[in-house]
């Protein structure tokens, strides 16, 4: 999944944000298959259940049947054709979600080998806020951070100060 790299900065910021808003006594439904970050959440004392790899645009049954207190969605919504449907189907009252932000100097991500590893949406922060609000969520806290690379060039230089990730804590209205 990470091709011998590990997004340490993203995971550090995400875990700090999660700890700020979610107690380890609350159960979590993490959208997406078991992954390195869901394992980190478990190691940190969270009780985490993941979706099973079903196409959430078509099948929201795991979400519909979940009794989790919190739903987390880390870099998931950009892959969906209809994140609105998924957001509306969540029964939990708390949501922690992050998305990569649209970068004006870079085209949308598209894996040539994995059909599921493509971005249908690349959000600006206001677009993601609007989506959440329209789906019945009130944003309580938000944060952005950059993702610099160790490469040389114009894009890597722009990544030093252009926010790449956006995370929100929202509650059901």
Tens digits of per-residue pLDDT, 120-155?
778 999 999 999 999 999 999 999 999 878 888 887
Instruction: Quick: pLDDT tens for 57-99.
Output: 999 999 999 999 999 999 999 989 999 999 999 999 999 999 9
Asked if 119 and 96 touch (Cβ cutoff 8 Å), the reply is no
Q: What does each C-alpha distance from 17 to 65, 79, 117, 144, 152 come to in angstroms?
A: 26, 22, 25, 11, 30
């Amino acid at each position: 999944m990470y091709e011998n790299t590990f997004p340490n900065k993203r995971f550090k910021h995400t875990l700090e944000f999660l700890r700020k808003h979610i107690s380890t006594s609350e159960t979590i439904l993490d959208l997406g298959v078991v992954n390195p970050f869901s394992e980190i959440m478990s190691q940190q004392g969270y009780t985490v259940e993941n979706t099973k790899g079903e196409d959430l645009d078509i099948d929201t049954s795991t979400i519909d049947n979940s009794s989790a207190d919190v739903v987390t969605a880390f870099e998931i919504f950009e892959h969906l054709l209809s994140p609105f449907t998924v957001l509306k189907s969540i029964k939990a009252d708390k949501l922690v979600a992050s998305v990569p932000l649209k970068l004006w100097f870079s085209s949308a991500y598209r894996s040539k080998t994995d059909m599921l590893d493509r971005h249908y949406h690349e959000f600006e922060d206001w677009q993601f806020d609007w989506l959440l609000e329209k789906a019945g969520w009130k944003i309580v806290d938000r944060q952005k951070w950059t993702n610099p690379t160790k490469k040389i060039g114009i894009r890597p230089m722009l990544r030093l100060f252009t926010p790449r990730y956006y995370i929100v804590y929202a509650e059901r209205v």
